[in-house]
Structures are given as structure tokens and as C-alpha cells.
Amino acid sequence: MPKGVTKRRPRTRAALLAAALETFAQYGFHAATIEQICERAGFTRGAFYSNFSSKDELFLALFDQHSERILERITDRIASTPGGDLTLPGLVEILAEIEPAERDWYLVTTEFTLHAIRDPQAGWVLAQHDARLRAALARGLTEQLERAGRTLTVDAEELARLLIAIREGGLAQSYVEPTALPPGQLERRFLAPLLAAFSTPGPTLS
């Protein structure tokens, strides 16, 4: 492959991903067309199919990108904790942060999840991506709780499932009733006692 094409490929892929997120959020995953995505990104169908085989594969690339960005943001926020002194309330505040742009992602991922529930093959593939995110969250949660002086007493991946359920369920209610329940409010109110209940005081990581 020529060097110019090789260098352009990551930029083309990034533009298609950004256009897909906007298009899916505007029209819905099923209603959005590959042509609309390509038009928004400024590329041809050929450019699309040189990067993705289908809308499903495009969504899963968006899923992985979003997961990596969220985990990276959490890691960066923890790393910037003054003096490295992470507390349980401080960890909860980081986990409770919801960016304004999260609403678009919530619309897209909710519709794809419904698609995956109806389509066993799509469900199986989504479950693999979910599992990788959950495992990364479980590892990070275990490590950061230990930094905060706590040791988990429950399975970390099951706890990760619960935290994801709280986040997704809370966002569903927040986007319907934003005044009554601002995004992140449930986490700020209940995560600290929940994490304390499922952990015990333990040695702090140096």
C-alpha cells in the first residue's frame, strides 16, 4: 500500500467514526445510512468499506473508542489527584462525572443494545466488547480502592456490572427528567456507601 494512503487511513477512519456518532445520534442506528455517514465525513462509500465491513462493525469501533476515552479520562483524573491522596469520596466524584456529549453516545448505544438483544449474533459480539470494558473497569476499580485504603469483598467484575447498570439506568432517567435528576446525581449520593459496604479497610498502595 502506498505511504500516502497508509498515512491518510487513520484520519479517514477517525473522520468516519466522528461522522457516524453524529449521524447515529441524529437519525438512529437503524435509520442512518452509510451514504449519510460518508456525506457527513466527506468520503465515498469506497472509503467506508476500506475501513468497515458494516454499520455493526462501525458501531463496535465507536464502542471501543468511547470505552478507551472514558477509562483514560478516569485514569488521568486520578493521576492528577493532589499529592496522590485518593479518598473514597474523591474516587466517587471522578466516577460520577458525566460529560455533556455523553447524551449522544447514550442514544446510540441504547439503540444498538436493543438491536443486539433481538439479534443473537450481534448480542454475542457486543458481549465480547462489554466484557473487555468490564474487565478493565474491574482492574482499575480494585487498584484505586486499594489506593483509597479499601479492599473489595465481592467479585470485582460483578461490581463493575452493578456500577455500569447504575450509570446507564441513572442516565436514562436523567435524560428524561434532567431537572429532577441531573446526570451523575445517583452516583454522587449512593456510590460511596455502596463501595464502603462492599469493601473493608485495608492497606493503602504506596
- What are the φ and ψ backbone dihedral angles of 151, each rounded to 5 degrees? -120, 130
Q: For residue 109, give the CATH number of its domain.
A: 1.10.357
pLDDT, tens digit, for every residue of 21-53?
Answer: 999 999 999 999 999 999 999 999 999 999 999
120 shares a domain with 20: no
The answer to whether position 162 is within a domain reads yes
Mean pLDDT of 193-202: 93
Mean pLDDT of 187-201: 95
Give the DSSP H/E element, type plus range, for residue 5: helix 3-27
170 shares a domain with 128: yes
Helix (H, G, I), strand (E, B) or coil at 12: helix
Rounded to two decimals, the pTM is 0.86
The predicted structure's pLDDT at residue 119: 95
Instruction: Say which residues have a Cβ less than 8 Å from residue 102's Cβ, sequence separation at least 6.
Output: 171, 183
Domain stops at, among 34, 52, 70: 52
| Structure confidence at residue 200 as a pLDDT band (50, 70, 90) | very high
Evaluate if residue 6 carries a pLDDT over 70: no
Calculate the alpha carbon distances from 90 to 86, 134, 145, 201 in Å: 6, 21, 11, 16
Q: What percent of the chain has pLDDT over 90?
A: 81
Render 139-201 in DSSP notation, one character per residue.
Answer: HHHHHHHHHTTEEESS-HHHHHHHHHHHHHHHHHHHHHSTTTS-TTHHHHHHHHHHHHHTEEE
Q: Are strands 150-152 and 199-201 parallel, antiparallel or unpaired?
A: antiparallel
| Structure confidence at residue 79 as a pLDDT band (50, 70, 90) | confident
- Based on the structure, what is the number of domains in the chain? 2
Calculate the alpha carbon distances from 189 to 25, 114, 166, 198, 204 in Å: 29, 29, 12, 16, 24
74 shares a domain with 27: no
Calculate the alpha carbon distances from 40 to 47, 94, 139, 167, 186 in Å: 13, 34, 38, 31, 36
| Cell 449512593 found at | 190
The answer to whether position 206 is within a domain reads no
> Which amino acid does the sequence have at 121?
Q
Burial label, 166 (beta-carbon count in 10 A; 0-12, 13-18, 19+) = middle
The predicted structure's pLDDT at residue 3: 43
pLDDT, tens digit, for every residue of 119-154?
Answer: 999 999 999 999 999 999 999 999 999 988 899 999
152 shares a domain with 104: yes
Q: How many CB atoms lie within 10 A of CB 112?
A: 22
Q: Provide the mean pLDDT of the chain.
A: 91
Question: How does DSSP classify residue 86?
Answer: -
| Structure confidence at residue 1 as a pLDDT band (50, 70, 90) | very low
Domain holding 27, by residue range, is 1-52
The predicted structure's pLDDT at residue 147: 86
Evaluate if residue 171 carries a pLDDT over 90: yes
